[in-house]
């Protein structure tokens, strides 16, 4: 299977590692070549242009930061490289943006499937990402052998835009759960209550979410380095959700407060740290 990845950030590089262990023939492009250079030792073909990556592939995975980055990369690809290629968009973008990218690719003879993913770097490296595909059935069936390598239970949500909507909904939950847990934890620490006793109560209740335990140690120790999902990316996704929700006239007051907290975290210099740094913005005086 000949695969190209456009975008060699944290998720792109981790997914590349996994695909190489599954004997996929992989070409990868990233604007900063040094970020993906180590993949050469594992057998990846490092490309200096997106056109070069596409020419060596049958299926192209888009793992770029946002819709503007996708459009910029696509605009710099030679037209004859698009023909009969299937592009799978795996980043977090708005439903309307996904539909626009589909139309752009259709106009140059390429096929499109949106398939945003849920999970972090360990899941990418182990083939256990949650996949939310949407688009034409024929494109999904063409992509399915690859999707089954990337995630254990890929599913077709519906038409283009619906997978993107589900992904935004999930990332809004990430922001909400992290912010509300951080606020509760700050109160527990302020009153010097044994944290493990508090956690035992939470775990026994219907309120428990596994992400609480995943982020607890980081919050207690104020150690947010080596992120699987940086604060700046969650902030971008929250802003995107707000834009979509406000266009639908949904009441977004609760999320607007979390958006301000994320802005505060980034103003504290925590934009490149793990998103559990929301705790530092909620309890800035705790060291």
Instruction: Give the domain CATH number at 227.
Output: 1.10.1040.10
**Final residue belonging to a domain, choices 100, 131, 159:** 159
One domain, residues 168 and 201: yes
d(CA 19, CA 170): 25
Residues 168 and 135 in one domain: no
Domain-located, residue 227? yes
Q: 78 and 106: one domain?
A: yes
Neighbours of 251 (CB within 10 A): 9
Q: Per residue in 36-45, pLDDT tens?
A: 999 999 999 9
Q: Does residue 36 lie within any of the structural domains?
A: yes
Say whether both 204 and 258 belong to one domain: yes
Q: Is residue 249 part of a domain?
A: yes
Q: In whole angstroms, how far apart are CA 52 and each of 20, 49, 82, 153, 168?
A: 19, 5, 11, 31, 31
* 176 and 151 part of one domain: no
Burial of 4 (0-12, 13-18, 19+ CB in 10 A): buried
- Both 58 and 151 in one domain: the answer is yes
Q: Which of 133, 159, 185 corresponds to the end of one domain?
A: 159
Tokens 């990316």, residue located: 233
Same domain, 183 and 215: yes
Number of domains in the chain: 2
Residues 148 and 242 in one domain: no
Residue (of 168, 11, 5) closest to 96 by Cα position? 168
Return the CATH number at 117.
Answer: 3.40.50.720
Contact 206, 241 (CB under 8 A): no
Looking at the fold, whether 101 and 185 belong to one and the same domain comes out as: no
133 domain residue, yes or no:
yes
Residues 146 and 210 reside in one and the same domain:
no
pLDDT of 285 reads 76
Same domain, 131 and 11: yes
| Cβ-contact 179, 172 below 8 angstroms | no
Q: Tell whether 287 is covered by a domain.
A: no
Q: What is the pLDDT along the chain (287 residues), one digit of tens a residue?
A: 899 999 999 999 999 999 999 999 999 999 999 999 999 999 999 999 999 999 999 999 999 999 999 999 999 999 999 999 999 999 999 999 999 999 999 999 999 999 999 999 999 999 999 999 999 999 999 999 999 999 999 999 999 999 999 999 999 999 999 999 999 999 999 999 999 999 999 999 999 999 999 999 999 999 999 999 999 999 999 999 999 999 999 999 999 999 999 999 999 999 999 999 999 999 877 65
CA–CA separation, 16 vs 121, rounded Å?
11
Domain range for 202? 164-282
pLDDT at 286: 66
Residues 110 and 25 in one domain: yes
Q: Is 45 helix (H, G, I), strand (E, B) or coil?
A: strand
The phi-psi region of residue 10 (left if phi > 0; otherwise alpha if psi is between -120 and 50; otherwise beta) is alpha
Domain boundary among 139, 159, 179: 159
d(CA 93, CA 27): 24
Q: Which residue has the tokens 């997914």?
A: 15
């Amino acid at each position: 299977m000949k695969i190209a990845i456009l975008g060699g950030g944290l998720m792109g590089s981790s997914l590349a590692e996994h695909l190489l262990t599954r004997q996929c023939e992989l070409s990868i492009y990233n604007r900063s070549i040094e970020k993906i250079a180590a993949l050469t030792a594992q057998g990846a073909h490092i490309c200096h242009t997106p056109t070069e990556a596409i020419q060596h592939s049958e299926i192209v995975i888009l793992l770029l930061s946002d819709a503007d980055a996708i459009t910029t990369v696509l605009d710099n690809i030679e037209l004859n490289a698009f023909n009969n290629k299937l592009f799978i968009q795996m980043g977090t973008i708005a439903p309307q943006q996904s539909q626009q990218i589909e139309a752009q690719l259709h106009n140059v003879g390429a096929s499109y499937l949106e398939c945003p993913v849920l999970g972090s770097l360990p899941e990418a490296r182990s083939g256990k990402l949650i996949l939310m595909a949407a688009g034409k059935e024929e494109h999904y069936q063409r992509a399915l052998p690859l999707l089954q390598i990337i995630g254990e239970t890929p599913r077709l949500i519906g038409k283009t835009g619906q997978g993107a909507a589900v992904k935004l909904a999930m990332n809004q939950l990430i922001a909400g759960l992290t912010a509300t847990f951080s606020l509760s934890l700050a109160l527990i620490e302020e009153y010097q209550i044994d944290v493990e006793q508090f956690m035992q109560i939470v775990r026994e209740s219907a309120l428990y979410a596994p992400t609480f335990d995943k982020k607890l140690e980081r919050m207690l120790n104020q150690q947010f380095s080596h992120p699987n999902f940086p604060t700046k990316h969650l902030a971008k996704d929250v802003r995107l959700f707000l834009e979509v929700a406000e266009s639908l006239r949904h009441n977004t007051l609760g999320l607007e407060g979390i958006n301000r907290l994320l802005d505060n975290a980034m103003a504290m210099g925590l934009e490149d740290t793990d998103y559990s740094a929301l705790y530092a913005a909620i309890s800035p005086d705790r060291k």
